[in-house]
Structure 1
């Protein structure tokens, strides 16, 4: 069970049919990328693997160390060299490869979404429904000693704020006359 507290007030306000709570937060495919490494992580990987690759001397053709000295800078200092346009050629070649690698990384990280889109759209031939706005039942109460009041179709009602602090509005779908009458009791008749 997650460590998040459940806000029961929100649950009790909902009728259970709104679209807000339908998608579980762990379900979107972009949350767990296949290759989630950043450029900094890739640079650290290059530094680690450079220690494992032998460097061969051109004159003797014998292994004489490894490649770690070529990639000794950290990624932040490398970015300052890029900003100054003073990157050594061997690092410029590697950086251009890493920059080009972003495209296949993006494609592989979105393969789950593309697979789901293909499955639902091409295999099952499902079509996306247009968005449906929320509906609410509203109870109006007049001030004391007020007469009948007409509320026109299209009148906007302020409904508070959503999770992103954006104000929510509902619009009346038809004209309504609000009057001071109240239901004082309900009865049923049983006929045998």
Structure 2
């Protein structure tokens, strides 16, 4: 064996990885969501969109009296605390708003004090989650269809990992013939003699 310690460090102190450890979670089709809006995201989107929808009083359908943002006052949204509208999803303030909505919804669920029109809207958003979950499964189904039906690639059977073993014999042991035994398949592998 080499006496150079740098070579020994490279050869003997190397951690291996198996095939599962090389797979990136980012490539897993289940981690890619085509539609990733939550109820909180929808409520923030609807509040932002509501400023574009005119509100008309029942006795005057000619001139708008404002917009529909007042519809969301239960969640504490107002022009005073959100003067620039809803922040972008990547900003910290957006995460704070989502957390605030989650707390408000859980409190409303316990106290049963959500207004009827908001209750109907939240129920609609919860029903929308069902179709959203089905939509998010399309990427996996599409990949399965593409590989199986279009490319006609069959899955390979499982194969056991292979291991290369490097070792030095102790110098003061009596010389004996020995075999390494692999635990998984109980195959006998002869040792290399010098």
Query: 1 CA distance for matches of 2:72 and 2:35?
Result: 22
TM-score of the pair, normalised by structure 2? 0.62
Written as runs of structure 1 = structure 2, the 5 A alignment for 1:147-186 is 148=176, 153=181, 155=183, 171=184, 173-175=186-188, 182-183=193-194
Structure with the higher strand share, 1 or 2: 1
Match of 2:150 among 92, 104, 123: 123
The separation in 1 between residues aligned to 2:174 and 2:39, in whole angstroms, is 67
TM-score by length of 1: 0.63
Bigger fraction of residues in helix: 2
- Identify unmatched segments of 5+ residues in structure 1: 1-8, 156-170, 184-192
- In structure 2, list runs of 5 or more residues that go unmatched: 1-9, 77-100
Corresponding residue number in structure 2 for 1:187 = none
Considering only aligned residues, what root-mean-square deviation do their CA atoms show, in Å? 3.4
Q: CA deviation at 1:39?
A: 2.5
Aligned partner of 1:167 in structure 2 is none
SS at match of 2:130: helix
- Is 1:53 aligned with 2:81? no
CA contact (8 A) 2:182 2:189 kept: no
Partner of 2:97: none
1:69 corresponding residue in structure 2 = 70
The count of corresponding residues between Structure 1 and Structure 2 is 155
